[in-house]
């Protein structure tokens, strides 16, 4: 966020309305299931990570609870043009004239709506800054202490949520490593059984054109076949280069016809049976 002389700056990071989070949000829904097992598997597969202990969500700052008192807000409809145009405004005792006049007008017109409550006014009189910003369609205000606490909580929560993403990514890397190892082990057995070059492929099916599939083609995610890259013969069984071992056909070709040269784990029951791996 761009800052200027009127923008709040806390610990070298601009204070922003996005730092203000409700105390009712539940972060315990993020789970680190089988944490030690995942770390052990990561070590076995040589996957680097920075985890040592299970991350815990930061504790909500008690000094910020008072901020959610509804008397500290007012609708934009009652704002003066200069107040309505602010992003995050740092206000000091020297800057208070327009804000104070606006507050008086709001108090007289809206009854119990008091952007500047006694606590914030006392902070201003003690030469402590306060912060005005928009949140969920209302102009709100918080003290310097609250802004510092919101900023600290935001940083801690951001770190925690990153650890949630990192753990999910670690689980995905382990899953991919397992599949890669299983595919490599299976490939050795199929190599021994066939004695010719081959590749594990998916059939292609035609799908409706859309923004993410402008060619209209897509690999099937059903079973992967053994596709022969050389002519193959075993007794009466004969297959030509490009055919699948089980004889299945695809009207639109296979994954390697789409420049996907990856060899997939074979899951076709017939192909597996014909290589003795059923």
SS3 per residue for the chain: CCCCCCCCEECCEECCHHHCCCCCCCCCCCCCCCHHHHHHHHHHCCCCCCCCCCCCCCCCCHHHHHHHCHHHEEEHHHCCHHHHCCCEEEECHHHHHHHHHHHHHHHHHHCCCCCCCHHHHHHHHCCCCEEEEEECCEEEEEEHHHHHHHHHHHHHHHHHHHHHHHHHHHHHHHHHHHHHHHHHHHHHHHHHHHCCCEEEECEEEECCCECCECCCEEECCCCCEEEECCCEEECCEEECCCCECCCCCCCCCEHHHHCCCCCCCCCCHHHHHHCCCC
* Residue 186 included in any domain: no
- Return mean pLDDT, the chain: 80
Tell whether 202 and 252 lie within a shared domain.
Answer: yes
Q: Are residues 108 and 206 in the same domain?
A: no
For residue 4, is pLDDT > 50?
no
Does 94 reside within a domain?
Answer: yes
179 part of a folded domain:
no
Residue-number span of the structural domain to which 211 is assigned: 195-274
Are 122 and 205 in a shared domain? no
Please indicate, yes or no, if residue 187 is contained in any of the structural domains.
no
Q: Looking at the domain assignment, is residue 1 inside a domain? A: no
pTM of the model: 0.74
Nearest to 10 by CA among 90, 81, 70: 90
Query: Do residues 211 and 96 share a domain?
Result: no
Task: Tally the domains of the chain.
Answer: 2
- Domain boundary pick from 101, 135, 156: 156
Same domain, 46 and 123: yes
Q: Of 156, 185, 214, which closes a domain?
A: 156
Residues 211 and 152 both lie in one domain: no
**175 in any annotated domain:** no
Q: Residue 169: inside a domain, yes or no?
A: no
Are 143 and 248 contained in the same domain? Answer: no
The pLDDT confidence band at residue 139, using thresholds 50, 70 and 90, is confident
What distance in Å separates the CA atoms of residue 135 and residue 141, rounded to the nearest whole number?
10
pLDDT at position 83 is 53
Same domain assignment for residues 144 and 200: no
Residue range 202-226, pLDDT digits in tens: 887 765 444 554 444 455 557 899 9
Q: Please indicate, yes or no, whether residues 50 and 149 belong to a single structural domain of this protein.
A: yes
Residues 142 and 255 placed together within one structural domain of the fold: no
Residue with more model confidence, 139 or 235: 235
Q: Which residue, 102, 131, 156, sits at the end of a domain?
A: 156
Within-domain flag for 229:
yes
* 203 and 150 fall within a common domain: no
Same domain, 43 and 129: yes
Quick one: pLDDT at residue 119? Answer: 80
């Amino acid at each position: 966020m761009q800052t200027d002389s009127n923008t709040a700056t806390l610990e070298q990071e601009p204070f922003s309305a996005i730092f203000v989070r409700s105390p009712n949000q539940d972060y315990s829904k993020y789970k680190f299931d089988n944490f030690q097992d995942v770390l052990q598997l990561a070590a076995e597969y040589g996957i680097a990570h920075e985890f040592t202990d299970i991350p815990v969500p930061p504790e909500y700052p008690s000094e910020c609870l008072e901020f959610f008192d509804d008397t500290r807000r007012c609708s934009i409809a009652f704002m003066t043009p200069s107040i309505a145009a602010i992003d995050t405004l740092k206000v000091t005792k020297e800057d208070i004239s327009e804000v104070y006049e606006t507050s008086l007008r709001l108090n007289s017109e809206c009854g119990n709506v008091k952007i500047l409550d006694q606590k914030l006014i006392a902070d201003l009189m003690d030469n402590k800054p306060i912060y005005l910003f928009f949140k969920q369609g209302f102009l709100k205000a918080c003290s310097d202490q609250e802004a510092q606490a919101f900023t600290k909580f935001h940083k801690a929560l951001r770190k925690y949520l990153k650890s949630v993403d990192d753990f999910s990514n670690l689980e995905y890397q382990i899953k991919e490593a397992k599949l890669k190892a299983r595919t490599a082990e299976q490939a050795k057995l199929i190599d021994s059984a066939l004695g010719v070059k081959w590749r594990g492929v998916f059939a292609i099916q035609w799908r409706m054109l859309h923004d993410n599939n402008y060619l209209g083609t897509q690999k099937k995610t059903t079973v992967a076949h053994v596709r022969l890259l050389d002519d193959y013969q075993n007794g009466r069984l004969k297959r030509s280069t490009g055919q699948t071992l089980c004889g299945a056909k695809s009207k639109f070709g296979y994954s390697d016809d789409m420049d996907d040269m990856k060899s997939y784990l074979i899951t076709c029951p017939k192909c597996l049976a014909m290589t003795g791996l059923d």
